[in-house]
């Protein structure tokens, strides 16, 4: 059972933690109404237990003092009373824990000294009267059972020796004999194969598999079934799902907008493959915690899967508006899930205070916290950084880093080209976690939910801000950027650092090239300097450069050597070339066109020979003058750097091709707005300056030529839109349309409703106004029978329309009076109309169109349109005839040539858009959602769990009560590899116990320990402790093989018992812990869906990969518009897209795992909506109908068909009476369908009968 801490609320977060870590048995504690009692239980008791009880208890009384009761403290020891209520200053216990000179220090060990906040808690407790709740449990200083070393017990002797089949059975039978109960008989073969098949594959056995088992009369028949199932791909899918429950797998991030994680599926499939191939469990754990580190150790063929395995950490939930500013909550989720999934301990309670019940300390929590804070997590995007992502390449850095440099140059070139083409540029950013965040583009300035400070992989101290103003103009290394790091004038000491991965050393052979852009402000000569260092942890820097307002100096053997003068306020580029083998450096510094070389110089004599760290810092004292400085574009690579430049990379076409702006200008001059479409190409969508609407079927057509010549000369082409209900439209941006001196603007167009065969009640809309639909000045409407006007907000009919008749609309807009007048003209009629310009019009005219968003919905008539005019000159009379210009053929030829060039550029631009979108979505190499090494650092305790309240620093390490120790000072990485090795050390008392208990649980429906995620004091003790240790010992001794554990359990007599319904015999104790018989269980959500699909023949057994998420370049999810989707398919349910904030409807209905927290055991609710699913859900109706159709062909005989579907669904044959009932049901249902004149009544009757099988207990339960 999980117990919860009190929630801690702050302005930034609301936190809820699960507790249950156990080290010392403290006894039961009840919450008290008195806050002083609660303070004792949560703050004082853990200190006394964890730091004092071992030496001052009932059996061991150092200094004759006991601390396990208030009376004992009041009595005191050899030095007198330890406690004087209300007087902390006079209490010996306070002086002792403060290590005062006149008393013995408590605890005596310096490394176990109480933290300042713990001392303050003791003082407060005494000051408030030293309340000791009467309800508190006894202090018992004995180690909890789960922390004792795993034993290798001898199997107990039993009288019923013949019953046992494997080494498990004596442990079970001994308890049964002790209780005086008998095991159930062995299950029949059909029950046994159905049980085993669902247990191992999550699917029902096929009739052929059942027949094969029934025919096998050998003693090894069931063993062969188990071995066959363990080799099935379905086994990995079924048991991989169990692990995904425990690690709260999801395909979305979980923060306020629940951003998609399109690559999470790779970790899911890694888990499935790990179970399918029986990857040793210890290796499985090590890869998930430190796979990226192990990948570098080889062999190369395992590199990809090991990196993908770190998805175990990466899928930790994200929080808040800007999830990187709430990264401490993500780390808490990581630690809590690690504790529950691997150790069976809930570690989250130690985040804010020492464990309320157990001696798990804040130091333990933050020693683990430092390990994960020293790692880089993939970033999926967030509301604050909607289109920013960073992922892990699944190839080594030696391959990914050069590819990424080329990728960034290509992206920049495409972006520059598309910008020249006036195309929109996606704001998406995709980064590699193999690269340092040297251009700060994974950071965000202060805005919205962002604090504007550095987040990992950067570590910093002091006053450092992320700002847009600190963006360098240079693009030779990082071609695009928005922000940099800024340190204000007189800000005092600061320190910015980042680890360099992979580490380089003298043995690497290749030179290392370093880039930094900086801009420094003016300051007095005595102002403190800024420094840039490149080197190694635990070593003097290889290169130490000093930056001031007047010069750049490099340290050569501890002596400063001036390199270059500095112009304050100017961006400067600094480049270094480090020859690690020769221990030399050379460089260049300057601006484009003016660069000063640094000749070869020696690296520091005290440098260790390793490069794994870069630093930007100042050691200025408070109050010391200091120049403002901005940093950007810090980079290290093994390829030479390009010369400093402000120019972005370009595509060849942009240098040699025609200027698209000049083309458009000339085309505009020649064609104007091409209002009569005579410069267009027939049977194509309209070209510039006109444009079709999205997915519109508008075409230039000879059949759409107006017969009227007063606006344009006689032509050959017009526009046509079809007779349909889907969207259609076309329009154009109006070039420099201005009214005449009196404020009048004249517009006109010709149209006819061409056909209404499919209907014509829906209306078209003619629009003139500001923007494409944003601010109408005039709107007119026409359908198959009427012409309408809009006046203000009113829409009113003007005149009837005849299908096939051409009309001309002439409008005069008075922009000053905000009115318009109009005429609807045809060869037979003339109607005048007018009205007010539309309310809400903002006064601008720059756009016009006709589209299908008229005021009447439905199918619109086919529409022909021609001769559009927008002018400041009065319109020609209706009976006037325009003449074609003399140079019309030459104009057409030139326009055609220009459009051909424009189309060629358009095709190149379209290809560039496609390539850019692909690159921004996928990157240059295969990626995964994983974790890499970050900048190593020890964490500070966060008082009350708040990062804004730092306490003492805690060395990275492992849980001390489990024998954990701090990382050695020589450790160079995060510590994840050492953590993985510690967790999988065979002497760890929890790792093997927890996993074998899970395996047992998934076979029997309950674990030997009934709280699989809690092996602590608040959890349940094992019902069979010796059996648990036997399984754990066998597990480790057998190479951590999960498949071997299955065989040992499933081939046992215990597993093969017949089913029993507990309580059916009435009276007596619950026999469940004695394993008398097999406990019936309901299928899990995934088993239900998969079984439905399998028996109906609809299951697609191919493994799935990703999901059809929207492309990342379009993401803009917010807390008010979060991501939400359900993606259907017919593959196994383990492959369904799992969302965090909005559960999958089917999985939620049938108690699927909670993707927000580790699910140790599925709930088993029975609610009416589950029954309604089998009556109404489309999945049930579709699959039952498909199943009925398939069975018509496979088995024409109705009686044998009933027998066949029974065996497929339930694995059994119907009795004669059950056959008769089935035939009666089918006949009556068929008759009702015939009476209702339903199509295919026979098939639909069978489908209804099949639905009764799918909704039955025989289908939904396993015996």
623: exposed, middle or buried (Cβ count in 10 Å: 0-12, 13-18, 19+): exposed
**What is the residue-averaged pLDDT of the chain?**
90
Q: Is the pLDDT confidence value at 339 over 90?
A: yes
163-180: string of b/e by CB count within 10 Å (b at 16+)? bbbbebbbbbbbbbbeee
Confidence of residue 11 (pLDDT cuts 50, 70, 90): very low
Task: Copy the structure tokens of residue 1097.
Answer: 């023949």
Residue 670: what pLDDT?
67
Q: Classify residue 1124 as exposed, middle or buried by CB count within 10 Å of its CB (0-12, 13-18, 19+).
A: exposed
Cβ atoms < 10 Å from Cβ of 974: 28
pLDDT of residue 881: 84
DSSP annotation string for 385-452: TTTEEEEEESS-HHHHHHHHHHHHHHHHHHHHHHHHTT------EEEETTS--TT-TT---SBTTB--
What letter would DSSP give residue 88? Answer: G
pTM above 0.85? no
Q: Which of 135-144, 636-645, 1101-1110 has the lowest mean pLDDT?
A: 135-144
pLDDT above 50 (res 672): yes
Confidence of residue 749 (pLDDT cuts 50, 70, 90): very high
**Residues 461, 469: Cα–Cα separation, whole Å:** 21
Q: Which range is least confidently modeled, 233-237, 1001-1005, 1135-1139, 1160-1164?
A: 1160-1164
Residues 6 or more apart in contact with residue 1064 via CB below 8 angstroms: none
Residues 6+ apart with CB under 8 A from 1227: none
Which carries the bigger pLDDT value, residue 296 or residue 888? 296
Dump strand ranges (E) for 130-252. Answer: none
What does the pLDDT read at residue 449?
Answer: 66
Residue 1068 has pLDDT above 50, yes or no: no
- The H or E element containing residue 933 is strand 931-933
pLDDT at 12 over 90: no
- Positive or negative torsion for Cα 1068, 1069, 1070, 1071: negative
DSSP 343: I
- Alpha carbon 938 to its chain's center: 27
Range with the poorest average pLDDT among 436-450, 702-716, 1234-1248:
436-450
Give percent of the chain with pLDDT exceeding 70.
94
CB–CB of 21/2 below 8 Å? Answer: no
pLDDT tens sequence across 220-229: 999 999 999 9
Residue at token pair 């390539």: 915
Find the helix or strand (DSSP H, E) in which 312 lies.
Answer: helix 311-314
Q: Which whole-number Å values give the CA distances from 851 to 682, 701, 745, 796, 857, in the listed order?
A: 20, 18, 22, 18, 12
pLDDT band at residue 22 under the 50/70/90 scheme = very low
Q: Please tell me the distance from the alpha carbon of residue 514 to that of residue 575, in angstroms, as a whole number.
A: 6
Q: Is 462 left (phi over 0), alpha (psi -120 to 50) or beta?
A: left
Could you read off the pLDDT of 583-626 as tens digits, one per residue?
999 999 999 999 999 999 999 999 999 999 999 999 988 889 99
Q: How far is CA 543 from the centre of its chain?
A: 39
pLDDT at 973 over 50: yes
Residue 727 CA to residue 721 CA, distance in Å, equals 10
Rounded Cα–Cα distance for residues 1052 and 1056 (Å): 6
Instruction: Give the β-pairing of 375-377 and 388-393.
Output: unpaired
Q: DSSP characters for 720-780?
A: EE-SSSS--EEEEE-SS----TTSEEEEEEEEEE---TT---S-EEEEEEETTTTEEEEEE
What band does 746 get if pLDDT is binned at 50, 70 and 90?
very high
**Which residues lie closer than 8 Å to 1197 by C-beta, 6 or more apart?**
none
Q: How confident is the model at residue 24 (pLDDT cuts 50, 70, 90)?
A: very low
Q: Are 1117 and 1126 in contact (CB under 8 A)?
A: no
**Alpha helix positions (H), 216-259:** 221-230, 233-246
* Helix-then-strand count for the chain, H and E: 32, 43
Tell me: the pLDDT tens digits for 891-937?
678 877 877 787 788 888 889 999 999 999 999 999 999 999 999 99
Confidence of residue 350 (pLDDT cuts 50, 70, 90): confident
Q: Is the pLDDT of residue 553 over 90?
A: yes
Per-residue model confidence (pLDDT) at position 1217 = 95
| Residue 1029: both structure tokens together | 């240790």
Continuous segment of H or E residues that includes residue 666: helix 660-671
Query: Please, which pLDDT band fits residue 1063 given cuts at 50, 70 and 90?
Result: low
Contact 1057, 192 (CB under 8 A): no
**pLDDT confidence of 10, banded at 50, 70, 90?**
very low
Q: CB–CB of 302/295 below 8 Å? A: yes
Give the model's confidence band at 13: pLDDT under 50 very low, under 70 low, under 90 confident, else very high: very low
The pLDDT assigned to 355 comes to: 65
Strand-pairing partners, residue 1207, are none
% of the chain exceeding 90 in pLDDT? 72
Mean of the pLDDT values across residues 761-781? 94
Give the whole-angstrom CA distance, residue 1058 versus residue 809.
Answer: 87
d(CA 534, CA 494): 16
Instruction: Indicate if the alpha-carbon torsion angle 851, 857, 862, 865 is positive or negative.
Output: negative
**Closest C-alpha among 319, 314, 264 to residue 288:** 314
- Residue-level pLDDT at 607: 93
Among the listed residues 392, 344, 304, the one whose alpha carbon sits nearest the alpha carbon of residue 1009: 344
- pLDDT-derived band at 862 (thresholds 50, 70, 90) equals very high
pLDDT confidence of residue 509? 74
What DSSP designation does 843 have? S
Q: Which long-range contacts (CB under 8 A, 24 or more apart) does 399-406 make?
A: 399/925, 400/432, 400/434, 400/924, 400/925, 401/432, 401/434, 401/435, 401/637, 401/638, 402/639, 403/924, 403/925, 404/432, 404/434, 404/435, 404/923, 404/924, 404/925, 405/637, 405/639, 406/924
> What's residue 450's pLDDT?
74
CA 832 to chain centre: 61
**Is the separation of the CB atoms in 556 and 607 below 8 Å?**
no
User: Sorting pLDDT into bands at 50, 70 and 90, what band is 348?
Assistant: confident
**Out of 149-163, 653-667, 708-722, least confident range:** 653-667
Phi, psi of 263 (to 5 degrees): -100, 0
What is the spatial distance between Cα 365 and Cα 335, in angstroms, rounded to a whole number? Answer: 8
pLDDT at 656 over 70: no
């Amino acid at each position: 059972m999980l117990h919860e801490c009190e929630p801690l609320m702050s302005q930034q977060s609301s936190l809820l933690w699960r507790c249950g870590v156990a080290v010392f048995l403290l006894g039961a504690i009840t919450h008290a109404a008195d806050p002083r009692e609660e303070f004792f239980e949560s703050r004082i008791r853990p200190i006394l237990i964890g730091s004092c009880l071992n030496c001052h208890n009932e059996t061991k009384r150092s200094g004759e003092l006991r601390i396990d009761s208030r009376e004992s403290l009041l009595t005191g020891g050899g030095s007198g009373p330890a406690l004087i209520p209300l007087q902390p200053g006079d209490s010996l216990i306070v002086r002792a824990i403060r290590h005062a000179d006149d008393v013995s220090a408590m605890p005596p060990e310096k490394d176990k000294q109480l933290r300042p906040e713990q001392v303050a808690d003791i003082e407060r407790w005494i000051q408030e009267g030293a309340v000791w709740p009467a309800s508190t449990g006894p202090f018992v200083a004995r180690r909890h059972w789960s922390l004792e070393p795993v034993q290798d017990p001898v199997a107990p002797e039993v009288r019923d020796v013949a019953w046992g089949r494997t080494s498990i059975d004596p442990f079970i039978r001994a308890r049964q004999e002790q209780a005086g109960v008998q095991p159930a008989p062995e299950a029949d073969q059909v029950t046994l194969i159905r049980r085993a098949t669902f247990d191992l594959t999550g699917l029902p056995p096929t009739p052929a598999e059942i027949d094969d088992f029934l025919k096998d009369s050998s003693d090894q028949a069931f063993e062969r079934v188990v071995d066959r199932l363990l080799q099935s791909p379905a086994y990995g899918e079924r048991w991989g799902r169990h692990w995904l429950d425990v690690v709260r797998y999801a395909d979305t991030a979980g923060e306020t907008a629940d951003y998609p994680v399109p690559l999470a599926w790779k970790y899911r499939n890694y888990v499935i493959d790990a179970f399918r191939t029986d990857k040793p469990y210890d290796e499985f754990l090590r890869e998930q915690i430190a796979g990226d580190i192990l990948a570098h150790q080889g062999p190369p063929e395992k590199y990809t899967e090991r990196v993908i395995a770190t998805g175990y950490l990466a899928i930790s939930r994200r929080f808040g508006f800007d999830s990187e500013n709430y990264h401490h909550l993500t780390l808490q989720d990581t630690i809590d899930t690690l504790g529950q999934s691997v150790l069976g301990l809930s570690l989250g309670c130690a985040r804010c205070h020492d464990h309320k019940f157990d001696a798990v300390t804040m130091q333990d929590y933050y020693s683990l916290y430092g390990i994960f804070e020293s790692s880089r997590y993939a970033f999926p995007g967030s509301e604050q950084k909607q289109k920013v992502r960073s992922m892990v390449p699944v190839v080594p850095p030696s391959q990914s880093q050069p590819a990424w440099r080329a990728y960034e140059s290509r992206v920049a070139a495409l972006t520059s080209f598309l910008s020249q083409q006036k195309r929109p540029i996606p704001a998406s950013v995709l980064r590699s976690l193999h690269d340092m965040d040297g251009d700060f583009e994974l950071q965000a300035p202060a805005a919205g939910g962002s604090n504007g400070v550095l987040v990992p992989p950067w570590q910093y101290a002091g006053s450092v801000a992320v700002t847009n103003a600190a963006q360098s103009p240079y693009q030779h290394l990082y071609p695009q950027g928005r922000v940099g790091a800024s340190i204000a004038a007189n800000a005092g000491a600061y320190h910015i650092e980042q680890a360099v991965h992979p580490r380089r050393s003298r043995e690497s052979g290749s030179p290392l090239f370093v880039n930094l852009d900086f801009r420094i402000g003016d300051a007095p000569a005595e102002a403190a300097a800024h420094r840039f260092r490149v080197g190694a942890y635990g070593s003097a820097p290889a290169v130490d450069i000093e930056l001031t307002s007047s010069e750049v100096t490099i340290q050569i053997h501890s002596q400063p050597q001036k390199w270059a003068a500095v112009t304050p306020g100017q961006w400067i580029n600094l480049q270094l070339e480090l020859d690690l083998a020769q221990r030399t450096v050379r460089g260049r510094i300057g601006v484009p066109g003016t660069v000063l070389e640094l000749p070869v110089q020696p690296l520091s004599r005290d440098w260790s020979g390793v490069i794994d760290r870069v630093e930007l810092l100042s050691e200025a004292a408070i109050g010391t003058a200091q120049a403002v400085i901005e940093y950007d574009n810090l980079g290290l690579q093994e390829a030479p750097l390009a010369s400093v430049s402000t120019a972005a990379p370009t595509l060849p076409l942009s240098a040699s091709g025609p200027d698209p702006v000049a083309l458009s200008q000339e085309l505009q001059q020649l064609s104007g707005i091409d209002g009569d479409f005579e410069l267009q190409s027939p049977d194509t969508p309209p070209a510039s300056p006109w444009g079709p609407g999205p997915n519109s079927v508008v075409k230039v057509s000879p059949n759409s030529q107006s017969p009227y010549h007063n606006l344009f000369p006689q032509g050959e082409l017009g526009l046509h839109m079809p007779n349909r209900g889907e969207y259609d439209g076309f329009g154009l941006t109006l070039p420099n349309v201005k009214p005449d001196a009196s404020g009048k603007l004249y517009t006109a167009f010709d149209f006819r409703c061409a056909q209404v065969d499919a209907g014509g009640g829906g209306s078209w809309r003619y629009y003139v106004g500001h923007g494409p639909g944003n601010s109408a000045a005039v709107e007119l409407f026409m359908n198959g029978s009427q012409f309408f006007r809009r006046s203000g907000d009113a829409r009113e009919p003007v005149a009837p329309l005849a299908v096939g008749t051409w009309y001309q609309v002439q409008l005069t807009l008075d922009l000053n009076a905000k009115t318009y007048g109009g005429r609807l003209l045809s060869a037979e009629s003339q109607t005048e109309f007018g009205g007010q310009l539309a309310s809400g019009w903002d006064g601008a005219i720059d756009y016009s169109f006709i589209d299908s968003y008229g005021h009447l919905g439905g199918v619109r008539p086919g529409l022909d349109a021609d001769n559009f005019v927008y002018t400041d000159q009065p319109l020609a009379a209706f009976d006037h005839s325009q003449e074609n210009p003399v140079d019309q053929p030459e104009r057409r030829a030139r326009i055609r040539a220009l459009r051909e060039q424009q189309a060629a550029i358009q095709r190149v631009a379209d290809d560039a858009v496609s390539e850019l979108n692909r690159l921004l979505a996928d990157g240059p190499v295969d990626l995964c959602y994983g974790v890499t090494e970050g900048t190593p650092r020890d964490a500070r305790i966060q008082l009350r769990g708040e990062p804004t309240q730092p306490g003492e620093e805690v060395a990275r390490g492992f849980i001390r009560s489990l024998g954990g120790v701090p990382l050695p000072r020589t450790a160079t990485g995060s510590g994840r590899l050492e953590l993985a090795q510690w967790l999988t050390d065979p002497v760890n008392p929890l790792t093997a116990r927890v996993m074998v208990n899970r395996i047992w649980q998934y076979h029997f429906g309950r674990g030997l320990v009934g709280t699989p995620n809690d092996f602590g004091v608040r959890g349940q003790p094992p019902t069979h402790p010796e059996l648990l240790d036997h399984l754990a010992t066998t597990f480790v001794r057998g190479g951590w093989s999960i498949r071997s554990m299955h065989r040992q359990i499933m081939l046992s007599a215990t597993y093969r018992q017949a089913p029993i319904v507990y309580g059916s015999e009435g009276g007596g104790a619950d026999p469940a812990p004695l394993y008398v018989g097999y406990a019936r269980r309901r299928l899990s959500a995934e088993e239900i869906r998969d079984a439905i699909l399998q028996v109906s023949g609809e299951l697609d057994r191919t493994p799935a990969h990703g999901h059809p998420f929207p492309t990342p370049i379009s993401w803009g999810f917010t807390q008010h518009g979060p991501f939400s989707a359900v993606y259907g398919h017919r593959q196994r349910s383990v492959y369904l897209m799992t969302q965090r904030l909005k559960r999958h409807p089917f999985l939620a209905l049938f108690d699927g795992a909670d993707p927000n927290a580790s699910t140790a055991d599925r709930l088993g609710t029975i609610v009416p909506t589950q029954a309604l699913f089998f009556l109404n859900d489309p999945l049930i109706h579709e699959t039952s109908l498909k199943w009925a159709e398939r069975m018509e062909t496979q088995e024409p005989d109705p009686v044998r068909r009933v027998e066949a579907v029974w065996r497929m669904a339930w694995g059994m044959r119907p009795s004669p009476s059950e056959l008769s009932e089935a035939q009666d049901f089918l006949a009556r249902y068929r008759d009702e369908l015939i009476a209702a004149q339903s199509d295919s009544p026979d098939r639909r009757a069978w489908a209804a009968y099949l639905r009764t099988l799918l909704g039955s207990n025989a289908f939904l339960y396993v015996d």
